[in-house]
C-alpha cells in the first residue's frame, strides 16, 4: 500500500472537507440526554445527526449505504455499511452526543464557539468524539486510493454515549443481523498519552455514581443556637466518606471495588511510564504549588487499574454571598467512583451503598441514590498480527513506536461488544491527549494527530484484510 497516497488523501480531506464540517458540528449544543432531557424537542441532536449523515452521504465510497435508525423514544443512531472483499467484518465506532458546557473557558473560547488556533480546534465534542465518522470514512477512502483492500466495514455512530450508552444495547440487538460477527472492532473514542505516536487502549475503568444525601434537620436553624448540639450535615458527610477512601492517600478502602492487576497490564504500565515520563502528570492544569498523588508507574496504574473517588457536584450549600449563620438541614454531593476493569458495576454499587448507609452517625438520615453504573473493560489477548499492524502504522505515520496503555475513562460500548463478540480483536484509540480536556473547559481537537490517526486506521484495515481476507 502506498503510504504517501494515504497521507495525501487524508490531509486534503481533513483540510478541505472535514474541518469545515466539524467546525459547524462544534457549534451545535447537542448535549447527551442525561444533560438535556428535552433533547428531542430542542432538536440539537437531530441537527448534529443531519450534519454528519449529510457529509457521509457525499463521500465517494462505492456501495456504501447509510441509515439513520431511531427506535421509539431513543436517541438516533447512524448506521453505515461499506462492502468489502471476503466474508469478514470490521466495526468502527464513535458517538456524536456531548457533555454539558462547564465553566472556566478562556476568553474568546466556549463550548459552542469553534476556534482554530494553530494545531488545535477548540470547542465541545470535536475530539470527543465528533471526528469519528469523518475519520472512519476517510480512512476507508484513503486505503482504497492507495491500492489497499479491506473487509466489509460497519460504522456505528451513536447519540447516547455520554449518558452511559443506555440506548445502544437496543440498537445492537435490533441491528444484529446487519452487523454480523466482526473479527475487529475499531473504536475512536479513547485517549493518547501524547500526540507523537499511536496509542491503543488495553483497558477501561468502569464507573459507579450517585447522589449521597445527609439530612440532620427539617429546616435550617441559627448556628449559634444549634452548633455543638446538632451535628453539621457536612461533618457527618465527611465521616461517611472516610469509610470509602483514605483521606491522606486517596486509596479506596472497600475491597469489593478492587482487583489484582494482571501482570501484562503492569508491564505495559512500565512502558507507558517510561515513554511519558513527567508528562503523565504534567499534562494537567495544576494550581500553583500542587503536587501529584503519584508519579511514574504508580500514576499510570492509579488512573487505569485502581478505584478512585471524585466529588463532582454539591447541593444544599448556598452561594458564598448568600451564606448566613445557619446550620444547614442537609448536604448532598454527587459521587463519581471510577472502578477497575473486571469489577462488576452492580456489585460495586451495592458495596458502596452499604458502606455509606449502614449505621449512620448520630442516626442522621443518609441515603445514596445510585445511578446506573457502567462496567469497565479489559481487552482480550492481543493477536500478534494486530500488534504488528499497530506498530507498523505508528512507525509509518508518526515515526515512533506504538504504545499500549489502559485508560481511566469509561466506554460502555466496549464491554457490551466484548460480551457479544468474544472472538473479536480491539483497536481502541483516540485524540484525547494532553491538555485536550474532554468534558472540561477549553476542550480541543489536535488536528495533526487526527490526520495521522486516520491514516493509521487505514493501515490497520489493510493489514486486517491481509490476514483475514
Residue range of the domain that includes 230: 206-258+306-370
Query: How far is 286 from 290, CA to CA, in rounded Å?
Result: 6
What confidence category does residue 468 fall into, taking pLDDT thresholds of 50, 70 and 90?
confident
Q: Confirm whether 143 is domain-assigned.
A: yes
Task: Please determine, for residue 469, whether its predicted confidence score (pLDDT) is greater than 90.
Answer: no
Give the percent of the chain with pLDDT over 90.
Answer: 93
For residues 10-27, average pLDDT: 98
Average pLDDT of the chain is 96
* Total structural domains within the chain: 2
Say if residue 358 is in the same domain as residue 383. Answer: no
Alpha helix locations (H) across 256-383? 263-276, 279-282, 296-302, 345-357
Question: What residues are paired with 110 via a beta bridge?
Answer: 113
Say if residue 323 is in the same domain as residue 418. Answer: no
Q: pLDDT tens across 347-367, in order?
A: 999 999 999 999 999 999 999
Say if residue 193 is in the same domain as residue 327. Answer: no
All residues at 6 or more sequence positions from 181 whose CB lies less than 8 Å from its CB, including other chains: 89, 421, 423, 424
Q: Confirm whether 98 is domain-assigned.
A: yes
> Which domain-ending residue is among 370, 392, 410?
370
Task: Please determine, for residue 413, whether its predicted confidence score (pLDDT) is greater than 80.
Answer: no
Q: Confirm whether 348 is domain-assigned.
A: yes
CATH of the domain at 185: 3.40.630.10
Query: How far is 357 from 367, CA to CA, in rounded Å?
Result: 6
Task: Please determine, for residue 409, whether its predicted confidence score (pLDDT) is greater than 90.
Answer: no
Q: Look at residues 60, 204, 205 and name the one whose alpha carbon lies nearest to residue 137.
A: 60
Q: Confirm whether 296 is domain-assigned.
A: no
What is the reported pLDDT for 1?
82
Q: What are the distances in angstroms from CA 218 to CA 189, 233, 265? A: 45, 12, 50
Q: Confirm whether 14 is domain-assigned.
A: yes
Q: What are the distances in angstroms from CA 314 to CA 52, 244, 307, 322, 455? A: 36, 18, 21, 16, 44
What is the reported pLDDT for 421?
82
Say if residue 212 is in the same domain as residue 187. Answer: no
> Which domain-ending residue is among 370, 398, 420?
370
Q: Confirm whether 286 is domain-assigned.
A: no
Task: Please determine, for residue 239, whether its predicted confidence score (pLDDT) is greater than 80.
Answer: yes
What is the reported pLDDT for 28?
98
Say if residue 419 is in the same domain as residue 434. Answer: yes
For residues 205-211, average pLDDT: 96
Say if residue 33 is in the same domain as residue 161. Answer: yes
Task: Please determine, for residue 420, whether its predicted confidence score (pLDDT) is greater than 90.
Answer: no
Q: Confirm whether 269 is domain-assigned.
A: no
Say if residue 50 is in the same domain as residue 156. Answer: yes
Q: pLDDT tens across 82-98, in order?
A: 999 988 999 999 999 99
For residues 158-182, average pLDDT: 93
Say if residue 195 is in the same domain as residue 216. Answer: no
What is the reported pLDDT for 412?
77
Q: pLDDT tens across 283-342, in order?
A: 888 999 999 999 999 999 999 999 999 999 999 999 999 999 999 999 999 999 999 999
What is the reported pLDDT for 9?
98
Q: Look at residues 413, 425, 427 and name the one whose alpha carbon lies nearest to residue 456.
A: 427
Say if residue 42 is in the same domain as residue 188. Answer: yes
CATH of the domain at 357: 3.30.70.360
Say if residue 226 is in the same domain as residue 323. Answer: yes
All residues at 6 or more sequence positions from 249 whose CB lies less than 8 Å from its CB, including other chains: 293
Say if residue 217 is in the same domain as residue 254. Answer: yes
Q: Confirm whether 218 is domain-assigned.
A: yes
355, 245 in Cβ contact below 8 A?
Answer: no
For residues 110-139, average pLDDT: 98
Say if residue 223 is in the same domain as residue 115. Answer: no
For residues 191-203, average pLDDT: 95
Amino acid at each position: 500500500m502506498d503510504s504517501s497516497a494515504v497521507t495525501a488523501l487524508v490531509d486534503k480531506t481533513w483540510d478541505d472537507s472535514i474541518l469545515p464540517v466539524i467546525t459547524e458540528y462544534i457549534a451545535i449544543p447537542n448535549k447527551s440526554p442525561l444533560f438535556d432531557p428535552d433533547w428531542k424537542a430542542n432538536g440539537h441532536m437531530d441537527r448534529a445527526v443531519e450534519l454528519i449523515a449529510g457529509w457521509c452521504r457525499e463521500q465517494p465510497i462505492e456501495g456504501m449505504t447509510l441509515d439513520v435508525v431511531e427506535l421509539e423514544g431513543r436517541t438516533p443512531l447512524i448506521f453505515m455499511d461499506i462492502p468489502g472483499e471476503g466474508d469478514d467484518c470490521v466495526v468502527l465506532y464513535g458517538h456524536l452526543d456531548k457533555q454539558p458546557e462547564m465553566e472556566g473557558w478562556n476568553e474568546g473560547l466556549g463550548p459552542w464557539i469553534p476556534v482554530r488556533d494553530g494545531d488545535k480546534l477548540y470547542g465541545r465534542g470535536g475530539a470527543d468524539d465528533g471526528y469519528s465518522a469523518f475519520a472512519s470514512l476517510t480512512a476507508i477512502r484513503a486505503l482504497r486510493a492507495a491500492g489497499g483492500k479491506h473487509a466489509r466495514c460497519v460504522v456505528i455512530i451513536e447519540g447516547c454515549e455520554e449518558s452511559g450508552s443506555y440506548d445502544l444495547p437496543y440498537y445492537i440487538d435490533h441491528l444484529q443481523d446487519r452487523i454480523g460477527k466482526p473479527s475487529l472492532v475499531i473504536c475512536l473514542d479513547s485517549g493518547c498519552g501524547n500526540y507523537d505516536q499511536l496509542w491503543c487502549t488495553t483497558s477501561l475503568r468502569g464507573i459507579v455514581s450517585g447522589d449521597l444525601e445527609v439530612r440532620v434537620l427539617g429546616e435550617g436553624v441559627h448556628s449559634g443556637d444549634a452548633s455543638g448540639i446538632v451535628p453539621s450535615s457536612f461533618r457527618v458527610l465527611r465521616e461517611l466518606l472516610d469509610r470509602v477512601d483514605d483521606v491522606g492517600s486517596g486509596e479506596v478502602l472497600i475491597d469489593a471495588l478492587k482487583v489484582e492487576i494482571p501482570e501484562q497490564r503492569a508491564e505495559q504500565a512500565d512502558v507507558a511510564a517510561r515513554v511519558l515520563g513527567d508528562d503523565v502528570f504534567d499534562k494537567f492544569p495544576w494550581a500553583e504549588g500542587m503536587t501529584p498523588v503519584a508519579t511514574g508507574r504508580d500514576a499510570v496504574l492509579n488512573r487505569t487499574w485502581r478505584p478512585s473517588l471524585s466529588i463532582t457536584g454539591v447541593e444544599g450549600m448556598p452561594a458564598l454571598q448568600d451564606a448566613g449563620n445557619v446550620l444547614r438541614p442537609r448536604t448532598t454531593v454527587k459521587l463519581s467512583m471510577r472502578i477497575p476493569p473486571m469489577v462488576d458495576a452492580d456489585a460495586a454499587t451495592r458495596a458502596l451503598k452499604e458502606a455509606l448507609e449502614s449505621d449512620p452517625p448520630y442516626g442522621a438520615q443518609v441515603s445514596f441514590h445510585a445511578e446506573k453504573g457502567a462496567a469497565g473493560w479489559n481487552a482480550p489477548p492481543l493477536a500478534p498480527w494486530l500488534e504488528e499492524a499497530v506498530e507498523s502504522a505508528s512507525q509509518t505515520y508518526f515515526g515512533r513506536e506504538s504504545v499500549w496503555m489502559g485508560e481511566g475513562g469509561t466506554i460502555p460500548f466496549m464491554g457490551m461488544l466484548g460480551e457479544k463478540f468474544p472472538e473479536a480483536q480491539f483497536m481502541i484509540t483516540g485524540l484525547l491527549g494532553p491538555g485536550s480536556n474532554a468534558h472540561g473547559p477549553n476542550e480541543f481537537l489536535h488536528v495533526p494527530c487526527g490526520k495521522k490517526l486516520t491514516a493509521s486506521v487505514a493501515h490497520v484495515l489493510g493489514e486486517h484484510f491481509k490476514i483475514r481476507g
